Amino acid sequence: MCGIFAYLNFNVSRQRRYILEVLFNGLRRLEYRGYDSAGISVDSALNPAHPPLVFRQAGNINSLVKAVYHEASVMELNLEESFPMHAGIAHTRWATHGEPSPRNSHPQTSDPGNEFLVVHNGIITNYEVLKETLVRHGFTFESETDTEVIAKLAKFIYNNTNEEGSSSMTFSQLILEVMRHLEGAYALIFKSRHFPHELVACKRGSPLLLGVKELNEKAMAEPSFNDTDFLSSNGQPKELFLSSDASAVVEHTKKVLVIEDNEVVHLKDGGAFIFEFDNAKGEHGGTSVRPASVQRALSVLDMEVEQINKGKYEHYMQKEIHEQPESLTTTMRGRLLRGGSCKSKSVLLGGLKDHLKTIRRSRRIVFIGCGTSFNAALATRPILEELSGIPVTMEIASDLLDRQGPIYREDTTVFVSQSGETADTLQALEYALENGALCVGITNTVGSAIARNTHCGIHLNAGCEIGVASTKAYTSQIVAMAMLALAIGDDAISSQARREAIIDGLFDLPGKVKEVLKLDEEMEDLAKLLIAEQSLLVFGRGYNYATALEGALKVKEVALMHTEGILAGEMKHGPLALVDETLPIVVIATRDACFSKQQSVIQQLHARKGRLIVMCSEGDAASVCVGGSCRVIQVPRVQDCLQPVINIVPLQLLAYHLTVLRGHNVDQPRNLAKSVTTQ
């Protein structure tokens, strides 16, 4: 839910202004993760004995930038002062404990002298118990956060160790001991005046990665990806970065290391030393035992800076809506096979091929997700049931956990998450693994927790999605799960013609999305008519019940308009009471097996003077518009199971234009953040 970032320069002189700008730009790249408050910490002077400076501000990153430069001017801080070595940390917050305010912003500190500072993404579930203990030992708390406990716990352990005469404790040993007391999901970065020019990071559940940029001429001319060269303390000038997300690192370097759960990374003397946290260790031997450093493999970011820029668009959401023809193409690239004969039409999913036989023998398939990911799975449930013949059930991750619903060894559980770090979905994954089910992951993030911890899966390849309201990831999820259905049903001769028609439809799908994007101006005109409305209903059924839910979610997420997606078959069981001549209603009535039923729904709503906006297939306007009394949105017709990909695009455009016209922030909707890493 939050974004954490750190920058350490070693043996390369950097002015304070440059350091500040690197930290600010890192936060800007992470701002989609939280934007109600922010903060940074930098050194106050070359002399490490001086307490570090901490700047915290409510509001977005620009508010922080203005506040920092104003305070720097007031205190006459020399922004041109150079530091051959320096460690700075930064944080952008999505509030969970305490309102957005400077005192609740990060970095949180251990004491007025800022002996220990920490930035935190996640949640500490036992912070109240720790807080009570620390209060009894004389600590006072200034904030309402769970994070302040961590900084004060570090100081408490450090003080106790020094009193016992063990002054040789390293920074990483100290943090390993802090981890021993923490419960919950978190990624942490620590800075301390006791360990100048050092940083320590650790994680359990929340994402974190390390980036390294070597600055010597040889390294730049002949880049080395050798583990030893990459992480060693060899005295060569380097810049080291820690970040919640690759988007904040890619403009500096593509050499990264994805930090695993229960790992501690100690940045010191230009090197990165990695230790594994083991709760069993230290219980008898104490903290004097120095853990051995472990070796880790490198990754090379498959990302370009252009992917995280807006380009010609005003907002990320607008850009990502219009990128969908390309994102769908990359999702399908290399996975659809179509040659000269009908028999050659098939789907190849490399991440699943070794598990398809097991999936086909499942007693049921269970889709598990939250929000948009749940809606995408719901959209593909009918085709998966049709082609596989296996019962498919839907579970909202949090509800499954609350109920402790039954999961069996014979089940295949499919975990759908754009980020691969969604807290509730990760908890449900742990639950399914404990119960022995086969676990499949569908995510857009390589190296994410879901990608690492499932038995097999599908990577969306949809490209970086920065707008908080998911658009292109949703349509790529539908296509990925449609391909999953095709792969599972590939052994059935009876459905061969149906599968081949769907594969043909998938090849044509990006072109059809390009066509529907031409409705942009029409959706803007519709948004102008709805700008003052307080509520909107969206009716769908069959494949497009999910479209109704997702379209309503998009409007309520960004336009802040009360919108409900309703199963049209339930209309007469309550929702019909809301219908009058003032309430705008969207009915999705594209051609499929439910078309005649949707025609009946339109008739009933018209009889009660409903303000109808009907989405239909091209050429069907006369069939759905009773007496020309409703507004019609015509979309291209595709295979019924792929129609949700087409139908959601006008609703995404409508949500976007409504938001802009109502004056809200499209990419940073109120109270929301992109990656939900807290429960």
Consecutive H or E run containing 175: helix 171-179
Q: Kindly report the pTM of this predicted structure.
A: 0.83
Mean pLDDT of 440-454: 90
Separation CA 176–CA 289 (nearest Å): 11
What letters, b where the CB count within 10 A reaches 16 and e where it falls short, cover 118-152? bbbbbbbeebeebbeebeeeebeeebebbbbbbbb
pLDDT value for 335: 94
Whether 647 shows a pLDDT value over 60: the answer reads yes
Find the radius of gyration of the CA atoms of the chain.
27
Q: Within 10 A of 434 (CB to CB), how many other CB atoms are there?
A: 9
Mean pLDDT of 281-310: 64
Listed in sequence order, the residues at least 6 apart from 357 whose beta carbon sits closer than 8 Å to its beta carbon are: none
Burial (CB < 10 A; 0-12, 13-18, 19+), residue 591, is middle
Whether 291 shows a pLDDT value over 70: the answer reads no
CB 54 within 8 A of CB 114: yes
pLDDT bracket for residue 290 (50, 70, 90): low
Question: What angle in degrees, to the nearest 10, is found between the helix axes of 643-661 and 545-554?
Answer: 20
Separation CA 15–CA 20 (nearest Å): 9
Q: In the predicted model, what is the mean pLDDT of the chain?
A: 90
Q: Within 10 A of 297 (CB to CB), how many other CB atoms are there?
A: 9
Q: What are 338's two structure tokens?
A: 């179509």
Whether 359 shows a pLDDT value over 80: the answer reads yes
pLDDT value for 223: 47
Q: Within 10 A of 608 (CB to CB), how many other CB atoms are there?
A: 14
Mean pLDDT of 633-643: 97
Report the range out of 272-286, 628-642, 644-658 with the highest average pLDDT: 644-658
Q: pLDDT exceeding 90 applies to what percent of the chain? A: 71
| Strands annotated E in 277-408 | 299-300, 336-337, 346-347, 364-369, 392-396
Whether 669 shows a pLDDT value over 90: the answer reads no
Separation CA 615–CA 632 (nearest Å): 6
Higher-confidence residue: 609 or 640?
Answer: 640
Q: What are 472's two structure tokens?
A: 């292109």
What letters, b where the CB count within 10 A reaches 16 and e where it falls short, cover 303-336? beeeebeeeeeebbbbbbbbbbbebbbbbbeebb
pLDDT value for 166: 61
**pLDDT (tens digit per residue) in 367-394:** 999 999 999 999 999 999 999 999 999 9
| Strands annotated E in 16-130 | 37-42, 53-58, 82-93, 108-109, 116-124
Eight-state DSSP code of residue 203 = E
CB 459 within 8 A of CB 302: no
pLDDT value for 612: 94
List, as own/partner pairs, every contact residues 569-575 make where C-beta atoms lie below 8 angstroms and the sequence separation is at least 24, other chains included.
569/541, 569/597, 571/539, 571/601, 571/604, 571/605, 572/604, 575/537
Q: What are 453's two structure tokens?
A: 């911890």
How many residues does the structure list for the chain?
679
Eight-state DSSP code of residue 570 = G
pLDDT value for 554: 97
CA distances to 462, 619, 628 from 654, rounded to whole Å, are 22, 22, 22
Mean pLDDT of 420-429: 91
Q: DSSP letters along 211-240, please?
A: EEEE-SHHHHHS----HHHHH---S--EEE
pLDDT bracket for residue 447 (50, 70, 90): confident
Mean pLDDT of 188-214: 92
Whether 24 shows a pLDDT value over 90: the answer reads yes
CB 171 within 8 A of CB 287: no
Separation CA 595–CA 375 (nearest Å): 21
pLDDT bracket for residue 165 (50, 70, 90): low
Report the range out of 179-193, 226-240, 254-268, 511-525 with the highest average pLDDT: 511-525
pLDDT value for 193: 93
Q: What are 541's two structure tokens?
A: 């059924």
**pLDDT (tens digit per residue) in 296-305:** 766 787 777 7
CB 626 within 8 A of CB 616: no
Whether 31 shows a pLDDT value over 80: the answer reads yes
Listed in sequence order, the residues at least 6 apart from 330 whose beta carbon sits closer than 8 Å to its beta carbon are: 461, 462, 463
**pLDDT (tens digit per residue) in 227-277:** 445 566 677 899 999 999 888 999 999 899 989 888 999 999 999 999 998
Burial (CB < 10 A; 0-12, 13-18, 19+), residue 215, is middle
Phi, psi of 612 (to 5 degrees): -95, 135
**pLDDT (tens digit per residue) in 326-357:** 999 999 999 998 765 545 788 999 999 899 99
- Cα separation of the two ends of the chain: 10
Rounded to 5°, the CA angle 52-54-59 comes to: 165
What letters, b where the CB count within 10 A reaches 16 and e where it falls short, cover 234-267? eebbbbbbbbbbbbbbbbbbbbbbbbbbbbbbbb
Consecutive H or E run containing 5: strand 3-15
Listed in sequence order, the residues at least 6 apart from 38 whose beta carbon sits closer than 8 Å to its beta carbon are: 27, 56, 57, 59, 60, 61, 63, 64, 90, 91, 92, 93, 105
Query: Collapsing DSSP states into helix, strand and coil, what is residue 356?
Result: helix
CA distances to 48, 176, 186 from 156, rounded to whole Å, are 21, 14, 20
Mean pLDDT of 6-13: 96
Query: What's the sign of the alpha-carbon dihedral 423, 672, 3, 258?
Result: positive
Active site residues per annotation: 2
CA distances to 111, 315, 588, 672 from 649, rounded to whole Å, are 52, 16, 12, 22
Separation CA 464–CA 204 (nearest Å): 24
Q: DSSP letters along 278-291, please?
A: -TTTTTTT-TTSPP
Paired residues of 614 in beta bridges:
587, 632
Mean pLDDT of 449-475: 93
Phi, psi of 286 (to 5 degrees): 75, -175
Range in 140-144, 156-160, 443-447, 630-634 the model is least confident about: 443-447
pLDDT bracket for residue 286 (50, 70, 90): very low
Eight-state DSSP code of residue 645 = H
